[in-house]
Amino acid sequence: AGTTWPSEILYTIYHDGDVEKCRQDAVSNQMPFLEMKAPEMLSGVELLEKTPSLWLVKTHLPVLLLPTSFWDKDRKVIYMARDPKDVVISYYYFYQMDKMHPNPGTLGEFLETFMAGKVAYKSWYEHVQDWWEKKQEKQLLYLFYEDMKKVRVQKILRFLGKEVVEEMVARILHHTSFQEMRKNPAANYETMPTALMDHSLSPFLWKEISGDWKNHFTVAWNKCFNQHYWEHMASSDLRYQMEA
């Protein structure tokens, strides 16, 4: 859903816009990925344990699997959401290059797998709705990928209670643009071993645009997905900027 984007923004904000410092280490070390566990690498938990002054943690976990102590601390949370059709496409290409995931098969097969909730982190519908409901209780900023170009840095700064300084905002906007992040090994996961992430199959940062699903979905797939989506989202007041 594009979580690397706000991750890089947050890391740059907490280093006062010092983009050179942000380029010195990989994003996976800058912001420990809580549930990450890969061969011959420190796990997310191990990285957290060795981080002396922790500001930021990344996770894809559903609400129910987060440690209770996390909520007890009343930390601020930023959740990234995206048009589910674009999520399917981005996820499909990610499955191809990330060797820690099973072979996704054809796009048609993966679409069925996604709708059935048989992907990592299970049902997309449950995931987004549970986090949306948590928004009512906790300090949670629910961001939509489609709005990121317009409001991403200013909105995040205000949520964190930080001053909006235009010069720093401009520097962060440039550093976290898709073009800059895609050529930055510290942000695009090129520092990961090829045995874990094969960038020759697909870049980690797939595409910045919204609506790329139109280049991949058939008419039949789109009709089927729309019906499935509304069956699972009808009872929720959460509404995505999803094109028909």
DSSP labels, 58-115 = B----GGGS-HHHHHTT--EEEEE--HHHHHHHHHHHHHHBTTS----SHHHHHHHHH
**Hey, is 142 helix, strand or coil?**
strand
Which one is catalytic: 60, 199, 216, 228?
60
Find the Cα–Cα–Cα–Cα dihedral 213, 217, 219, 222, rounded to 10°: -70
In angstroms, the Cα distances linking 192 to 28, 162, 210 are 9, 33, 27
Could you tell me if 131 and 79 are in contact, meaning their C-beta atoms sit under 8 angstroms apart? yes
Could you tell me if 241 and 144 are in contact, meaning their C-beta atoms sit under 8 angstroms apart? yes
For the chain, the distance separating the N- and C-terminal CA atoms, rounded to the nearest angstrom, is: 19
Find the Cα–Cα–Cα–Cα dihedral 78, 125, 5, 53, rounded to 10°: 40
| Tokens describing residue 126 | 């449950």
Instruction: For residue 60, indicate whether it is catalytic.
Output: yes
**Hey, is 141 helix, strand or coil?**
strand
Kindly list the catalytic residues: 60
